[in-house]
Amino acid sequence: MCRATAFSFRVKTKIYKTMSAPAPAPSAAPPSAAPAAVPMAVDSKGGAAPAADEAKAPAKGLDEPMEELENGNGMVKLISSDKKEFVIARKDAAISRMVHTALKGDKDATEVQVPSVNGAILELVVNYMKEHKGTEPPILEKPLRSKVLADICPHKWDATFIDNIGQSSKRRLYDLILAANYMHIHGLLHLACAKVATWLKGQPLEKIADLMHPDNPAPPIGTPAAAAAPAAAAAAVAPEAGGTAK
């Protein structure tokens, strides 16, 4: 299997599981992350301490509310696989269950390594974290009611954010899906998968492979219903060519 095909298969599998499966029950365990290094928290003295042993605590599903961080008002530095650094409020970063677990394991941590996410993608994740300020938005209803995310996203910033990413680079969107899964950011994972689902909605099976291929251009975004309605109304009352308005 060629590299591009293998990459596309991994993403398609994640999208299928995310968009077709029901939301996990509160007692379900979080989805398994990529087999990368255990996230490490670094204290103010520079010493590394592994994240808390989750095996000792009851398993938590992604839908279950996380406990408040004791030091939630401070700042933390997220460090990508290529050593890019992003400083963000601890309470904002805690929307990631992976980061939340690392910070709970070491209350004095000032840094969290994110070894499976590069700097360009981690920057997108950090932008999402800052926008939502540590609170997960509602998950989009499935199946999608529209191919236009602006019509169905309760948080309009989300639609603009993910549309800009998906339309500029499919590969970047796919990398974001893998990052959201690795960092256990439920809302971002479903949002990014929903973007891909808008490309596939209503398409015949024989077109799916081409639509999913990371090197093919993304389909154009449809017109939001809110913008389409006035345009349709205007067209209905517009005079015909050569005629006069009544």
Residues 41 and 103: beta-carbon distance below 8 Å: yes
Higher pLDDT, 240 or 178: 178
Percentage with pLDDT > 90 across the chain? 40
β-pair partners for 42: 48, 111
Average pLDDT, the chain: 75
Domain extent listing, the chain? 3-21+39-46+67-222
Sign of CA dihedral 45, 48, 53, 59: positive
Quick one: pLDDT at residue 217?
A: 86
Q: How confident is the model at residue 202 (pLDDT cuts 50, 70, 90)?
A: confident
Output the CATH code of domain 3-21+39-46+67-222: 3.30.710.10
Quick one: pLDDT at residue 188?
A: 96
- Most confidently modeled range among 47-56, 76-85, 133-142: 76-85
pTM comes to 0.67
DSSP element (H, E) containing 246: none
CA distance 200 to 177: 16
Nearest alpha carbon to residue 34 among 11, 50, 53: 11
Range in 40-49, 121-130, 138-147, 198-207 with the lowest mean pLDDT: 40-49
For 129-179, the pLDDT digits (tens) are 999 999 988 888 888 888 889 898 888 999 999 999 999 999 999 999 999
In 6-159 the beta strands, taken as DSSP E runs, fall at 40-43, 48-50, 75-79, 85-89, 109-113
